[in-house]
Amino acid sequence: MDDWIAGFRDSVPDAYQEWLVAALAAAGGVLLALLAHRIVFVLLRRVASSTNSQSDNLVIRHLARPTKWAMVALGLVLAAREVPLLDDAWEKVAGFLMPALVGWVAISVMGAFVRSVELKLDLEAEDNLRARRRQTRLRILSRIATFVIVFVTIGLMLLSIPGVRDIGVTLMASAGLAALAVGAAAQPALKSLIAGVQMALTEPIRLGDAVIIGGEWGWVEDIRTTYVVVKVWDERRLVVPTNKFLDEIFQNWTKTTARLMGTVYLYVDPATRLDPIRAKFMELVEGNDRWDGRVKHMQVTELTRDAIEVRFLMTAKDSPTLYDLRCDVREALIQWLAAEMPEALVRSRVMSAGEDGRALGAPSAEAMAQMGE
């Protein structure tokens, strides 16, 4: 074997022997790192599959790729200790690659943590306010943390470039111009970052909230650091800047609870008997599965010359259910009035004329003359 190695060295020119040794050492380090990574993760997957928790599988799945490349970097570091040429080459790229790998691992760990916590949230519960609150905070804070990690990682990678580092040192030494330049350039990003933190702490909205903003009604589908996605009832999406929810007035129908109270208005003739309508309304609401059993009430809220305005109050567990309940009650009342009490439908009255051509009830010519005197 020694004779074969000696013969191989003699066959390779001296100028290439050092490069060949460096390449073989790097390949050996990478292969050993990949083998070690595979063995470790095979064992971890077996341990995770033996448990009932899905969080273990999530963590392993998120960490598989970044740790694989981190192990490759570790293998190159170990190989570079024994080969000077490889050590010199690694020093030139380590300052650029290591921050990227560390940032990638940090983002993966955070993503696995967020996903594992979200698995424990019961978002399908009837009253899921607490779960949506935790999910919103997790999403916002994780995106802010991702922004910070990426920002720091890119900064460290740029500082590893000699030209960029020299420019930064020169600017820092020139009476604070660097601070002013960085502050001006990063103002939109910092504003969005602060808005995201404020959104997470004050919670004006949460994921799944029913809101009315800009005259549109919909659900908060996603919250980013710079904008919020609102899913409108007809499947459209509104992309709303985050500061709009902090600086302007909007309606949040599920701020404290998902349960809501809704109204249905009905206009009937002034001569209508209201007790049968009230009885029918109570029957319709009590027989509807969408009613949550809290409030059912009928009130006369307005009286005009031609109609009575009747308001029906009802409650439901959430806004979509309440909307359907209101539509059900409105349709059923209209059909019942048309079939059972057609005289209650609003109609216009026209005064008929008498024999002398004047309208019934109008003053006579003699009365008008006496009034003129």
Alpha-helical regions (H) of the chain: 2-11, 14-49, 55-80, 84-119, 129-159, 162-172, 177-185, 187-202, 244-247, 275-286, 319-340, 365-372
When pLDDT is cut at 50, 70 and 90, the band that residue 276 belongs to is very high
Residue 15 has pLDDT above 60, yes or no: no
Which class is domain 210-252? mainly beta
Query: How far is 335 from 138, CA to CA, in rounded Å?
Result: 49
Q: Which of 19-28, 86-95, 166-175, 261-270 has the lowest mean pLDDT?
A: 166-175
Residues ≥6 apart with Cβ < 8 Å to 99:
153, 156, 157, 160
Query: How far is 323 from 219, CA to CA, in rounded Å?
Result: 14
Q: Whole-prediction pTM value?
A: 0.55
Residue type, 141: L
* 96-143 residue pLDDT tens: 778 888 888 888 888 888 888 877 777 666 666 677 778 887 887 888
Give the mean pLDDT of the chain.
77
Fold of 260-344: Alpha-Beta Plaits (3.30.70)
Tell me which of 165 and 74 has the higher pLDDT: 74
Three-class secondary structure of residue 175 per DSSP? coil
Residue 229 has pLDDT above 60, yes or no: yes
Are residues 296 and 316 in contact, defined by beta-carbon separation less than 8 angstroms? no
Percent above pLDDT 90 for the chain: 19
In 10 A of CB 81, how many CB atoms?
12
When pLDDT is cut at 50, 70 and 90, the band that residue 257 belongs to is confident
Query: What is the CA 194 to chain-centroid distance, rounded?
Result: 17
Determine the straight-line distance between the first and last CA of the chain, rounded to whole angstroms: 143
- The three-point CA angle 97-61-111 to 5° equals 70
Q: How many residues does the chain have?
A: 373
Mean pLDDT value of segment 203-207: 85
Query: How far is 290 from 74, CA to CA, in rounded Å?
Result: 61
Among 28-32, 68-72, 78-82, 307-311, top mean pLDDT goes to 307-311
Q: Taking the CA atoms of the chain, what radius of gyration do you get in angstroms?
A: 37
DSSP-assigned letter for residue 343 = G
Domains of the chain, by residue range, sit at 10-202, 210-252, 260-344
* 88-97 residue pLDDT tens: 666 777 777 7
Query: How far is 62 from 5, CA to CA, in rounded Å?
Result: 43
Are residues 262 and 325 in contact, defined by beta-carbon separation less than 8 angstroms? yes
Which has the closest alpha carbon to 177: 167, 187, 190? Answer: 167
Q: Which of 42-46, 316-320, 361-365 has the lowest mean pLDDT?
A: 361-365
Residue 299 has pLDDT above 90, yes or no: yes
Residue 323 has pLDDT above 60, yes or no: yes
When pLDDT is cut at 50, 70 and 90, the band that residue 175 belongs to is very low
Residue 225 has pLDDT above 70, yes or no: yes
Task: Work out whether the CA dihedral 94, 158, 194, 131 comes out positive or negative.
Answer: negative
Among 1-15, 64-78, 335-349, top mean pLDDT goes to 335-349
